[in-house]
A and B are shown apart, each in its own frame.
Chain A
Amino acid sequence: MIHPMLGEAWLAMGANRLRTALTMLGMVIGVGAVVIMMAIGQGAQYAVQQTISTMGSNLFIVLSGSFTTAGVRSGSAGAPTLNVADANAIAELDGVVNVAPTHQGTRQLVYGSQNWSSQVIGTTPEYLDARAWNIVNGAGFGDSDVRSATRVAIIGKTVAENLFGDDDPVGKTMRIQQNPFIVIGVLGSKGQNLDGRDQDDTVIIPLTTAQRKVFGTPFLGSVRMIMVQAESAETMPRTMESVTSLLRQRHRLREGVPDDFFMRNLSAAAESEAETTRTMSILLGAIASISLLVGGIGIMNIMLVSVTERTREIGIRMAIGARQRDILSQFLLEAVMISFAGCLLGLLLGLAIALAINAFTGMVIVISGSAALIAFVVAAGVGIFFGWYPAQKAARLDPIEALRYQ
């Protein structure tokens, strides 16, 4: 039964090509918009996921200073309240995997005639473990380098490219604040972080060397920041609590006295960022779906016109034995075919535009099979939903009335 009907639906669509094409255009735009929005939305989600995975998992940082009631950090300009001994004490706590006291700032790097400004991080070897950051060329420094404040450096990919060009940086000497440092390793690439900062534009040196030679802190042994890696996401809040009570105890803060440090859960911040992109992605898809709805209304409109125009044809078909359900399926099929054809074209158009966006702007896009599948299911659904009323109207016509229609 469906087979001859397909041919007839095709004929009917061909009978008024311009009208069919315009009706289809509504679906093309609707599906195209959904495909593009989903590609961009999923691309953004993917990019955030990628960035989060480069950060390292279950991390939080303890920062020197405190929040005033107005929420402004105070004390950071003064003497740092944290020190290396605090970090060592935290490392002894249950549920703590890695602890890395750090001191960082932007400094000018010089190699030969090349200059490059970069973020310099003074820290301990645990920093790389916490951030799951590997060395692709050369080696890292050890605890002995931290103890004896050697002038060694591990550099990121961006630094390697800009300062050393085609040279192999390992074994070369560069200067930071006039002090010569031997490059002993090159880090694997991590790309941008959530704030859009290039994580590969980094130099990592032993904490003690940084304090003495690069940042010149007057309070030896003090640090502005301690990075802590917890065992798991579940144990993180408990670990943060025990760090708080440990530090309060060590800093001899009596009850009622505010903390002289504060903490930030990096993993939670990342998760909320991911949640934001996910919401944005859904929102984009939802907005695009509205154009699909408009396309569907276009189909309904044209099918209503078609039913009226073909009233006499419907009467003839009924007179020679078409049942109500035959007429219903004929018009429904037509609506679904228009919807499907529009969907197919929209899919191709959407893909082409998404790829063009990627090619011209470098924006990450993700094209998933599920998006295409959803588009097709929606198209069939739109065809049936918006085709139903006109088809029903056709099927319910009275044969005599329909035959008399001029």
Chain B
Amino acid sequence: MVQPVIRVAGLGKSYETAAGLFPALKGVDLDVRPGEFIAIMGPSGSGKSTFMNLLGCLDTPTVGDYFLAGENVAHMDKDALALLRNRTLGFVFQGFNLLPRMSLQDNVALPLVYAGVDRETRQAKARELLAKVGLGNYAESLPNRISGGQQQRVAIARALVNEPRLILADEPTGNLDSHTSEEIMRLFEELNGEGITIVLVTHEPDIAAHCKRQVRFLDGQIVSDQLTTGDSA
């Protein structure tokens, strides 16, 4: 059997609040195999972002285990987590999160700076990925010169620059109109076709219909996990 890209077992996360410890995630189990394309769904406040932040190694769980490509991430130190964020996975945010003062090319190349890649390779790689997401002509532009949909493409190019096998996206189409959202989803489909595993959060069924598998959260727990059926697409 193929090793899962992600294996989550009894994963829990509680936040310290003024009212006491708040359990945002309560014992979640999930396996993600290579090449899967999963939509995480559920109402607002159901713990989707909390879960994605854990998968993205941006946060550490209160309890449980998280194996990323076979390694237990749950107890790694900050530098090891930074390394995973840099090399093993790419994260796409709802709000794009590009650095406003940098050209698109420099934005895309930034993860390579932290990977210690030389300048020539960084620039070549960034140009290649900008071309791949259809923005080859905008390499020197600043982020505020292009539309939201284009910014999200740049963010996806940045997530891809270190050739990760896994892309995580928290509501990547949340700030985009339906037409642009469709385009972004087609880009994800294309990437998934190339063998990249994708996990994305959405609460729109139309968006989720692009994915092969849909996992539904409610109150910090998974309540359903099913393959996308033909008629909902």
Which residues of A line the B interface, CB within 8 A? 1, 3-5, 11-12, 15, 312-313, 316-326, 399-400, 403
Contacts and interface: CB of A to CB of B under 8 A. Distances in A.
B20 interface: no
Q: Is the interface of A mostly helix, strand, loop or mixed?
A: helix
B130 interface: no
Given A4-B113, A400-B53, A400-B58, A319 B91 contact: yes
Nearest to A396: B78
A317 B110 contact: yes
Contacts of A318: 58, 82, 85
Given A11-B102, A321-B114, A323-B83, 6 more contacts: A1-B116, A3-B119, A318-B85, A321-B111, A322-B82, A403-B58
Contacts of B178: none
B227 interface: no
Contact of B101 (A11, A321, A325, A400): A11
B101 A323 contact: no
Interface of B: 53, 56, 58-59, 78-79, 82-83, 85-87, 91, 93, 97-99, 101-102, 110-111, 113-116, 119, 122, 158, 162
Contact of B91 (A11, A317, A320): A320
A323 B110 CA distance: 13
Contacts of B87: 321
A320 B114 contact: yes
Given A316-B97, A400-B53, A400-B58, A321 B119 contact: no
Contacts of A325: 79
B115 A321 contact: yes
Contacts of B78: 323-324
For B56, B86, B162, the residue with the greatest tally of chain A CB atoms inside 10 Å of its CB is B86
B211 to A, nearest CB: 23
A326 B83 CA distance: 12
A235 B86 CA distance: 76
B101 A319 contact: no
Please list the 9 inter-chain residue pairs (A to B) with the smallest Cβ-Cβ separation, ordered nearest first.
A321-B86, A321-B114, A323-B82, A320-B111, A4-B113, A316-B97, A321-B85, A399-B58, A323-B79
A5 B113 CA distance: 9
Nearest to A399: B58
Nearest to A321: B86
A290 to B, nearest CB: 36
Contact of A326 (B59, B97, B114): B114
Contacts of B86: 320-321
Given A4-B113, A316-B99, A403-B97, A321 B83 contact: yes
Contacts, number: 64
Contacts of A1: 113, 116
Nearest to A323: B82
20 contacts: A3-B119, A5-B113, A11-B102, A313-B99, A317-B99, A317-B114, A319-B56, A319-B58, A319-B91, A320-B86, A320-B114, A320-B158, A321-B83, A321-B86, A321-B115, A321-B162, A323-B82, A323-B114, A399-B58, A400-B59
Contacts of A319: 56, 58, 85, 91, 93, 97
A312 B114 CA distance: 18
Contacts of A324: 78-79, 82
A312 B59 CA distance: 16
A28 B79 CA distance: 38
Contacts of A316: 97-99
B119 A4 contact: yes
B82 A321 contact: yes
For B53, B113, B122, B158, the residue with the greatest tally of chain A CB atoms inside 10 Å of its CB is B113
A15 B111 contact: no
A189 to B, nearest CB: 63
Contacts of A3: 119
A11 B113 CA distance: 16
A325 to B, nearest CB: 8
A135 B151 CA distance: 87
A57 B79 CA distance: 68
Nearest to B78: A324
A4 B116 CA distance: 10
A275 to B, nearest CB: 55
Contact of A322 (B58, B91, B114, B122): B114
A400 B114 CA distance: 19
Contacts of A326: 114
B101 A15 contact: yes
For B58, B59, B102, the residue with the greatest tally of chain A CB atoms inside 10 Å of its CB is B58
B73 to A, nearest CB: 14
B110 A320 contact: yes
Contacts of A317: 99, 110, 114
A403 B58 CA distance: 10
A400 B158 CA distance: 19
B36 to A, nearest CB: 23
Contacts of A11: 101-102
Contacts of A323: 78-79, 82-83, 114
Contacts of A399: 58-59
Contacts of A320: 85-86, 91, 110-111, 114, 158
Contacts of B119: 3-4
A1 B119 CA distance: 10
A1 B112 CA distance: 10
A322 B78 CA distance: 10
A312 B97 CA distance: 9
Nearest to A12: B101
